[in-house]
């Protein structure tokens, strides 16, 4: 304890000021790091949204190709049915043959429409996911700004709190101390 008593009061004040400065610098660095992290996450969400939109376009293209393939298969099956009917001695205008070919054409159109629907549905899901990613990214950007504002308030609070604490410990500057008084104590008049 004798060592601490030998340290002048200004050294405690300097240490308190240095501690406040380091606390403020730490708060600012932490807020800057958090804001940068959130901004990077927002950027990643935008990239994810663009990838989802690209995938939506690809889903539609794949669906169109699948629909075309279903239509081709339908034509091949109809042609085979007609060929089998002709080979068995039936006529192409026979009502049974016409009904079978008509049913096959309807089935092909249905399968083609289902392929298109599935692709459009997947594309719609991808577009909704892209919109959600963009919305989340916007929230992260706002959050990054809030972190910066919060750090500004925390910094001001730390500085004012430390100034108040130092004032309470060390009193008014020595030029303002009444004669015969000591810092922090003021005689009544």
For residue 49, count other CB atoms closer than 10 A to its CB: 21
* 4 domain residue, yes or no: no
- Pick the more confident residue, 158 or 75: 75
* 141 domain residue, yes or no: yes
* 171 domain residue, yes or no: no
Domains of the chain: total: 1
* 166 domain residue, yes or no: no
Phi-psi region of 173 (alpha: psi -120 to 50; beta: other; left: phi over 0): beta
- Whole-prediction pTM value? 0.63
pLDDT of residue 5: 61
* 63 domain residue, yes or no: yes
Lowest mean pLDDT among 23-27, 77-81, 118-122: 23-27
Residue 186 reports pLDDT greater than 70: no
Residue 108 reports pLDDT greater than 90: yes
* 78 domain residue, yes or no: yes
pLDDT digit string, tens, across residues 52-71: 999 999 999 999 999 999 99
* 27 domain residue, yes or no: no
* 125 domain residue, yes or no: yes
Average pLDDT along the chain: 84
> Which residue range(s) make up the domain with 92?
35-157
pLDDT of residue 133: 94
- Pick the more confident residue, 22 or 171: 22
């Amino acid at each position: 304890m004798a060592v601490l008593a030998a340290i002048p009061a200004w050294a405690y004040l300097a240490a308190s000021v240095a501690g406040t400065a380091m606390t403020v610098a730490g708060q600012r660095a932490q807020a800057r790091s958090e804001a940068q992290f959130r901004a990077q996450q927002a950027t990643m969400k935008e990239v994810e949204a663009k990838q989802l939109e690209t995938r939506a376009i690809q889903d539609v293209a794949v669906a169109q190709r699948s629909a075309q393939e279903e239509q081709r298969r339908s034509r091949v099956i109809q042609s085979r049915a007609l060929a089998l009917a002709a080979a068995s001695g039936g006529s192409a205008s026979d009502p049974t043959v016409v009904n079978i070919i008509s049913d096959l054409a309807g089935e092909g159109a249905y399968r083609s429409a289902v392929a298109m629907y599935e692709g459009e549905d997947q594309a719609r899901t991808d577009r909704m996911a892209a919109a959600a990613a963009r919305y989340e990214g916007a929230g992260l950007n706002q959050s990054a700004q809030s972190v910066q504002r919060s750090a500004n308030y925390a910094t001001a609070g730390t500085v004012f709190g430390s100034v108040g604490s130092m004032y309470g410990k060390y009193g008014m500057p020595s030029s303002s101390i009444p004669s015969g008084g000591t810092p922090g104590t003021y005689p009544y008049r």
